[in-house]
Chains A and B, each alone.
Chain A
């Protein structure tokens, strides 16, 4: 099947129906392998066993940024090509990205408690992640404010693009602000990552990516169905009157 065929919502639904079970199964297998590797991985000589939290924290952080990238591409699709499937992709990615940003914050603060002695430090990485989480909440709130999906899609697309420009600037400012206020860096990651720790991390990252792909496809399928229900209900209301 050509990639262009997927642009048709009906073909996309057929593709999603076939792909979701396979992707889901693959996600479970890779997760099982990754968790196994993470358990077997050696402890860090400085941080001890708490380094195991990294296998959740870092992939969540990566995914939370990747989801915004997906939304940015979808936003271009919405504004430039006016493609309804781009609207669907952007809407589906927002809550998923937000959930991973939240997971990154939770695991980060649980990791911080033994390392820093407190659940929250205004560390540069955690602080930018918090702002990213707030931006996700704003996008989700925007989607939930407007009933007409096409109208909401364009507004959300503009916000997403402005966010995509602003996010690197926020990251830079927060880093600068952090060094200004606390001199020494409190970085969570060590200076070098050993291969014995890196390998499980990469497997876990792959598992998270597959999980994201599965959830994204499933959420897009739901959204397409939701729009069909909406269209049919509008039709029924029109014929009834």
Chain B
């Protein structure tokens, strides 16, 4: 038989607070990741890539753009 736990609300409150803070951190990291990936995909769709990421062909396109 379980004895009544003293100060239960405070213990539950602490664990709930920990859950909320950790969940907020995880949500922040996840939502941010999705947003950045979407922004990158959006930019790449418009033909923009980082110079170091693209091959030589890509680089020459970028170079042409720069000159234009």
A–B touch (CB < 8 A): the answer is yes
Contact B13 A110 (CB under 8 A): yes
Contact B40 A107 (CB under 8 A): no
Name the CB-closest residue of A to B33.
A222
Give the complex CA separation of A105 and B42 in angstroms.
41
- Interface residues in B3-23 by Cβ distance below 8 A to A read 5-8, 10-11, 13-15, 17-18, 21-22
Contact B25 A99 (CB under 8 A): yes
Contact B36 A218 (CB under 8 A): no
Interface flag for A52 (CB, 8 Å): yes
Contact A235 B48 (CB under 8 A): yes
Quick one: which of A57, A222, A228 contacts B29, CB cutoff 8 A? Answer: A222
Contact B6 A226 (CB under 8 A): no
Give the complex CA separation of A219 and B27 in angstroms.
11
Contact A110 B10 (CB under 8 A): yes
Contact A225 B66 (CB under 8 A): no
Quick one: which of B25, B36, B53 contacts A222, CB cutoff 8 A? Answer: B36
Contact A111 B14 (CB under 8 A): yes
Give the complex CA separation of A39 and B41 in angstroms.
46
Contact B14 A49 (CB under 8 A): no
Give the complex CA separation of A47 and B68 in angstroms.
75
Give the complex CA separation of A232 and B6 in angstroms.
58
Cβ contacts under 8 Å, A235 to chain B: 48
Using A106-B14, A211-B22 as known contacts, list a sample of 11 further A-B pairs with CB atoms less than 8 Å apart, ordered by residue number in A: A49-B7, A53-B10, A95-B28, A102-B21, A106-B17, A107-B14, A110-B14, A114-B7, A219-B32, A222-B32, A222-B33
Q: A residues within 8 Å of B by Cβ?
A: 10, 48-50, 52-53, 56-57, 60, 95-96, 99-100, 102-103, 106-107, 110-111, 113-114, 211, 215, 218-219, 221-222, 225-226, 228-229, 231-233, 235-236, 239
8 example contacts (A-B, Cβ-Cβ < 8 A) are as follows A49-B6, A50-B7, A52-B14, A56-B15, A95-B28, A103-B17, A110-B10, A225-B36
